[in-house]
Chains A and B, each alone.
Chain A
Amino acid sequence: MYNFAYHRPSSVAEAAAALAAASEGKLLAGGMTLLPTMKQRLAQPSDLIDLGAIADMKGISTTGDGVRIGAMTTHASVASSAEVKAAIPALAHLAENIGDPQVRNRGTIGGSIANNDPAADYPAAVLALDATIQTNKRTIAADDFFTGMFETALEEGEIITAVSFPKPQKAAYAKFPNPASRYALVGVFVAQTASGVRVAVTGAAPCVFRASQIEQALAGNFSPSALDGLTIDSSGLNSDIHASPEYRAHLIGVMAKRAVAAAA
């Protein structure tokens, strides 16, 4: 790890100011990706702005149509939240299966979606549930947020403060983990929402995406059998030592079916 200046602001405004003042500043949420990267000397921020002391960014509250989760809320908090379990059990279940206990007690929802790892779980939930990302500057619709591999719509100096999830009629997440990393080799989040069926796929491509083919198939018939015979196109899907694009395409279909069967 290279040397860096460490800041621990107590408000979002202070954090934004520290970030603006830094030459190569980085926000530190749970640090589950950033810290290992720094330890391997693959990242060299001049300043690390630790968001851990900002009380406003933590916690879960029930809103009129769902739940609002502070950006610095840990996966373990989401997994065990009575509010989340009541409103969107699929979201609690997803959080409960991220990484391992250490990761779940350090990693945060804001950190996860800001990083937008192609194999992370949360982006699938945010996109399928049509969540809204709140920042210190604006609100961003999920459909506009995830723009590419490790890329988001966040502008320079913009800090995620919370994510609001509307309650779906039904939802579920089915993940096929990479045997080594246990990240999603393919993860499919299906949701019946006010605006129709939304299906988001993570792990399979450079960026989380909506599977419109599956959405259409489920629109009239939200049941596993609606996906019988569906062939997913493998073009553009990831290829690595763990899975070919064809295998990932196949798994999208399998996991989508399993998610629909499990949806509650």
Chain B
Amino acid sequence: MGAQGIGARVPRVEDQRFLTGRGRYTDDINRPHQTYAWILRSPHAHARIRSIDTSAAKSAPGVVAVFTGADMEVGSLPCGWQVTSKDGTPMKEPPHPPLARDYVRHVGDQVAVVIAETKAQARDAAELIEVDYEVLPAAVSIQAALAPDAPKVHQDLPDNVCYDWELGDKAKTEEAFANARHVVKLDIVQNRLIPNAIEPRAAVGDYDSGTGKYTLYTTSQNPHVIRLLMGAFVLNIPENKLRVVAPDVGGGFGSKIYHYAEEAIVTWAAGKVNRPVKWTAERSESFVADAHGRDHVPHAELAIDADGKFLGLRVSTLANMGAYLSTFAPSIPTYLYGPLMAGVYATPAIYVEVKAVFTHTTPVDAYRGAGRPEATYLLERIVTKAAKQLGIDEVELRRKNMVQPDMFPYQTPVLLQYDVGDYPGTMDAAVKAADWYGFAQRRKESEARGKLRGIGMSTYVEACGLAPSAVVGQLGARAGLYESANVRVHPTGSVSVYTGLHSHGQGHETVLAQIVHEYLGVPIENVTVVHGDTDDGQFGMGTYGSRSAPVGTAALVKALEKVVNKAKKIAAHLMEASEADIELKDGNFVIAGTDKSLPFAQVALAAYVPHNYPITELEPGLEGQAFYDPMNFSYPNGCHICEVEVDPETGKVDVVAMTSVDDVGRVLNPLIVEGQTHGGLTQGIGQALLEQCVFDEDGQLVTGSFMDYCMPRADDVPSYNSSTMAVMGASNPLQVKGVGESGTIGATPAVINAVLDALAPLGVEDIQMPASPHRVWQAIQAAKTPMAAE
């Protein structure tokens, strides 16, 4: 590792522009003769549209056009994953028009769009649109949607069930339970979350009538995917006539993966009005129109033998899809959830069934971690509960049941084959770093201050590096999940890297440059990473699911190897040596065993000025392109330990310590790994203690602003004690596993296990998330009541 190479603590090259206000986000983009769109949204969770009168709006000042669903005859917003039910039938896949046709199905559903000279004029005119709604009863919660007489979300479907899916060997699992000495049961609610990226979504559609080409600027994590989905399925525009640009993007956390209606609306409308059309979400719109996360109601049972060995796990989960299927929604509670139920444990029999349900709410899709936090939370809660119920030290119960280092590759009973790891090792490192066994003394100190102290643990393993295309294809993915890179060496030796990834806060521009430096010796100042523009680079799948490091860097390494191989041939020619003797070291080609060397830049120049060049054998130029389809998922894993103090008078929980030991494989840049971990831990704490999306029974969003939706703030979290432990051997060239989601996955159960540990002396055995002061106080009161009656 050099000062700038793989593993170096290189400050982010992006920071200069982000921290000095020089970032260029979608809302910063303004096109000549641009118009502004305001989207009229449904105020009702469920209503039939009897009629829409747009005449007053059309004649309002500054209005260019008004469109409704009747005007916008385009395709349905597509779903990228098909899940098959137990009975072999495909999931129900109702249409999702960008503008509602006959019915609105959630508060915020798009009803009409006004395009005007200014945003204020568009909004003023939208207030003049008269929509005659027949307001209908709404099915808001999962349970309400499953009731026999529930209002149907989609009138053409028999009921509100999207699919009823299973995974694992049911008979074998039943047998395990029949043989169990102990059965531990757990019911939880996986609270619904609103992503709240700091940059609200925005989209600018542009149409060039001279060339017939459309351009969409959008806040996306995957512009190539948007071009494919919108072009091929919604608007029928071939790729060569559609450019999608996702410039700087201010956070996504999954919510900017999906193809949203507004993208199709502005692109289509730009063609209709023959002028650019810009839409920028208000924060209030983000709350109702960005896909939400989580929202499960699971029940789990763990079968354990007399020695404390896990025999079987069965899980039954209800999952909320919201009103329509968002792009990857069906895959989240299935293939990103069920296969994670083994966790770090060698549980021999696992059976998972998931019923996905339509409701009259905002669509639900992946949110940081996406299925894996939901699975890990359930598993790590029930394991801790088992330890308490059986009176076994929870560290030892975990150790006894873990997949041991000599068991890799380990085939779980739920699809995945773990490649490498040291689960007891990461747990022991965390136990030591957190001083787990010194807790009693700290609890005493807290008690002296009138506080209840608790400690909680979570281990996890996640499947990242999405994904081997053939495998996910068999599971219903309608896309491949490879990644691409193109390394273009310029004549003077500077480098542009074109990646199919997209950076929206991750620091790819730094890390990919570090990898180029590692392979070519070019200083990172001379490397530019280009991403986010479908006209400026080859197809790629974008960034989500911690895939950039395991999959994206692998494509880059392959491309770099092509460059190095060609450059060696050129160097051999220039140095009059055998290609086999040429090595590239610290930016110079050297002949092994001699002191002869040639700088990389001179070889690059020779490739573009081929005067002295093996022209009969080699083409001029120096460029390498590669697509990489992973052999396996990658499996980051780790152990998180949380300590909380609870004020028994108010119920307020303070996280006083948070330790994480994560095996993310090779660390490419420790600064970025720390940043990802700290952000993830904070989001994990947010779900555990603060965040909750609440609808009322009519489907109105109660938590429609930050006044009621509680995001974590700096004073809600402690200074983190985070470290990494790299177990090499991951199935990709750099042996990286991914770090984007681990904090979110491990933190949440550790926090709640700690809260329950703190409250255990008062008799509290369960609490739902978020463990708000109110909930904690109520739990304490409820625990007091039966004792008082005794």
Seen from chain A, the residues whose Cβ lies within 8 Å of a Cβ on chain B are 1-2, 40-41, 176, 179-181, 183, 185, 241-244, 247, 250-251, 254
Tell which of A1, A242, A254 touches B774, judged by Cβ atoms closer than 8 Å.
A242
How many residue pairs link A and B with beta carbons under 8 A? The number is 43
- 23 residue pairs A–B, Cβ–Cβ below 8 Å: A2-B124, A41-B123, A176-B650, A176-B652, A179-B773, A180-B690, A180-B706, A180-B707, A180-B708, A180-B709, A180-B710, A181-B706, A185-B773, A241-B694, A241-B708, A242-B708, A242-B772, A242-B774, A244-B774, A244-B778, A247-B774, A247-B777, A251-B650
Min CB–CB distance B123 → chain A (angstroms) = 8
Seen from chain B, the residues whose Cβ lies within 8 Å of a Cβ on chain A are 120, 123-124, 284, 649-652, 690, 692, 694, 702-703, 706-711, 772-774, 777-778
Smallest CB-CB separation from A253: which chain B residue?
B649
Question: How far apart sit A254 and B777, CA to CA, in the bound complex (Å)?
Answer: 12
Min CB–CB distance B60 → chain A (angstroms) = 14
Please indicate the chain B residues that have their CB under 8 angstroms from the CB of A243 in the complex: 774
Smallest CB-CB separation from B123: which chain A residue?
A41
Please indicate the chain A residues that have their CB under 8 angstroms from the CB of B706 in the complex: 180-181
Question: How far apart sit A180 and B777, CA to CA, in the bound complex (Å)?
Answer: 17
Min CB–CB distance B397 → chain A (angstroms) = 33
Smallest CB-CB separation from B647: which chain A residue?
A254
Tell which of B649, B690, B707 touches A254, judged by Cβ atoms closer than 8 Å.
B649
Min CB–CB distance A42 → chain B (angstroms) = 11
Question: How far apart sit A244 and B775, CA to CA, in the bound complex (Å)?
Answer: 10
Please indicate the chain B residues that have their CB under 8 angstroms from the CB of A247 in the complex: 651, 774, 777-778
Question: How far apart sit A221 and B459, CA to CA, in the bound complex (Å)?
Answer: 53
Min CB–CB distance A153 → chain B (angstroms) = 27
Please indicate the chain A residues that have their CB under 8 angstroms from the CB of B694 in the complex: 241
Question: How far apart sit A176 and B776, CA to CA, in the bound complex (Å)?
Answer: 15
Please indicate the chain B residues that have their CB under 8 angstroms from the CB of A250 in the complex: 777
Please indicate the chain A residues that have their CB under 8 angstroms from the CB of B774 in the complex: 242-244, 247
Min CB–CB distance B57 → chain A (angstroms) = 16
| CB–CB B708/A181 < 8 A | yes
| CB–CB B703/A181 < 8 A | no
Please indicate the chain A residues that have their CB under 8 angstroms from the CB of B652 in the complex: 176
Please indicate the chain B residues that have their CB under 8 angstroms from the CB of A176 in the complex: 650, 652, 773
Min CB–CB distance A121 → chain B (angstroms) = 16
Question: How far apart sit A1 and B774, CA to CA, in the bound complex (Å)?
Answer: 36
| CB–CB B777/A179 < 8 A | no
Chain A interface helix/strand/loop/mixed: loop
Please indicate the chain A residues that have their CB under 8 angstroms from the CB of B777 in the complex: 247, 250
Question: How far apart sit A243 and B120, CA to CA, in the bound complex (Å)?
Answer: 37
List 8 additional A-B contacts (Cβ < 8 Å) besides A179-B773, A241-B708, A254-B649: A41-B123, A180-B710, A181-B707, A183-B707, A241-B694, A241-B703, A242-B774, A247-B777
Question: How far apart sit A254 and B702, CA to CA, in the bound complex (Å)?
Answer: 28
Question: Counting chain B CB atoms within 10 Å of each CB, which of A179, A251, A254 scores highest?
Answer: A179
Smallest CB-CB separation from B716: which chain A residue?
A179
Question: How far apart sit A242 and B284, CA to CA, in the bound complex (Å)?
Answer: 20
Question: How far apart sit A60 and B450, CA to CA, in the bound complex (Å)?
Answer: 39
Tell which of B284, B702, B711 touches A241, judged by Cβ atoms closer than 8 Å.
B702
Question: How far apart sit A241 and B704, CA to CA, in the bound complex (Å)?
Answer: 12
Min CB–CB distance B107 → chain A (angstroms) = 15
| CB–CB A40/B708 < 8 A | no
Question: How far apart sit A2 and B694, CA to CA, in the bound complex (Å)?
Answer: 30
Smallest CB-CB separation from A243: which chain B residue?
B774
Tell which of B120, B649, B772, B778 touches A179, judged by Cβ atoms closer than 8 Å.
B772
Question: How far apart sit A1 and B708, CA to CA, in the bound complex (Å)?
Answer: 22
Min CB–CB distance A174 → chain B (angstroms) = 11
Question: How far apart sit A235 and B707, CA to CA, in the bound complex (Å)?
Answer: 25
Question: How far apart sit A227 and B113, CA to CA, in the bound complex (Å)?
Answer: 59
Question: Counting chain B CB atoms within 10 Å of each CB, which of A41, A241, A243 scores highest?
Answer: A241
Question: Counting chain A CB atoms within 10 Å of each CB, which of B652, B692, B703, B708 scores highest?
Answer: B708
Please indicate the chain B residues that have their CB under 8 angstroms from the CB of A41 in the complex: 123
Question: How far apart sit A204 and B484, CA to CA, in the bound complex (Å)?
Answer: 57
Question: How far apart sit A40 and B284, CA to CA, in the bound complex (Å)?
Answer: 9
Min CB–CB distance B775 → chain A (angstroms) = 10
| CB–CB A179/B710 < 8 A | yes
Q: Would you list the 6 A-B pairs with minimal beta carbon distance, nearest first?
A: A180-B710, A181-B707, A179-B710, A254-B649, A243-B774, A247-B774
Please indicate the chain A residues that have their CB under 8 angstroms from the CB of B650 in the complex: 176, 251, 254
Please indicate the chain A residues that have their CB under 8 angstroms from the CB of B702 in the complex: 241
Min CB–CB distance A252 → chain B (angstroms) = 11
Question: Counting chain A CB atoms within 10 Å of each CB, which of B120, B702, B773 scores highest?
Answer: B773
Min CB–CB distance A120 → chain B (angstroms) = 13
Smallest CB-CB separation from A250: which chain B residue?
B777
Min CB–CB distance B673 → chain A (angstroms) = 30
Min CB–CB distance B131 → chain A (angstroms) = 17
Question: How far apart sit A239 and B188, CA to CA, in the bound complex (Å)?
Answer: 24
Min CB–CB distance A8 → chain B (angstroms) = 22
Min CB–CB distance A72 → chain B (angstroms) = 25
Question: How far apart sit A254 and B647, CA to CA, in the bound complex (Å)?
Answer: 11
Smallest CB-CB separation from A1: which chain B residue?
B120
Question: How far apart sit A183 and B707, CA to CA, in the bound complex (Å)?
Answer: 9
Smallest CB-CB separation from A242: which chain B residue?
B774
Please indicate the chain A residues that have their CB under 8 angstroms from the CB of B773 in the complex: 176, 179, 185
Min CB–CB distance A186 → chain B (angstroms) = 9
| CB–CB B690/A179 < 8 A | yes
Please indicate the chain A residues that have their CB under 8 angstroms from the CB of B692 in the complex: 241
Smallest CB-CB separation from A100: which chain B residue?
B713
Question: How far apart sit A1 and B124, CA to CA, in the bound complex (Å)?
Answer: 9
Question: How far apart sit A251 and B647, CA to CA, in the bound complex (Å)?
Answer: 12
Please indicate the chain B residues that have their CB under 8 angstroms from the CB of A1 in the complex: 120
Question: How far apart sit A2 and B123, CA to CA, in the bound complex (Å)?
Answer: 10
Smallest CB-CB separation from A180: which chain B residue?
B710
Min CB–CB distance B689 → chain A (angstroms) = 8
Question: How far apart sit A185 and B530, CA to CA, in the bound complex (Å)?
Answer: 49
Min CB–CB distance B682 → chain A (angstroms) = 15
Question: How far apart sit A244 and B776, CA to CA, in the bound complex (Å)?
Answer: 12
Question: How far apart sit A181 and B650, CA to CA, in the bound complex (Å)?
Answer: 17
Min CB–CB distance B193 → chain A (angstroms) = 14
Question: How far apart sit A108 and B652, CA to CA, in the bound complex (Å)?
Answer: 30
Question: How far apart sit A242 and B652, CA to CA, in the bound complex (Å)?
Answer: 12
Question: How far apart sit A185 and B773, CA to CA, in the bound complex (Å)?
Answer: 11
Min CB–CB distance B161 → chain A (angstroms) = 29
Question: How far apart sit A124 and B311, CA to CA, in the bound complex (Å)?
Answer: 59
Please indicate the chain B residues that have their CB under 8 angstroms from the CB of A40 in the complex: 284
Smallest CB-CB separation from A251: which chain B residue?
B650
Question: How far apart sit A43 and B161, CA to CA, in the bound complex (Å)?
Answer: 42
Please indicate the chain A residues that have their CB under 8 angstroms from the CB of B709 in the complex: 180
Smallest CB-CB separation from A3: which chain B residue?
B120
Min CB–CB distance A229 → chain B (angstroms) = 14
Min CB–CB distance A74 → chain B (angstroms) = 22
Please indicate the chain B residues that have their CB under 8 angstroms from the CB of A251 in the complex: 650
Question: How far apart sit A242 and B711, CA to CA, in the bound complex (Å)?
Answer: 14
Min CB–CB distance A4 → chain B (angstroms) = 13
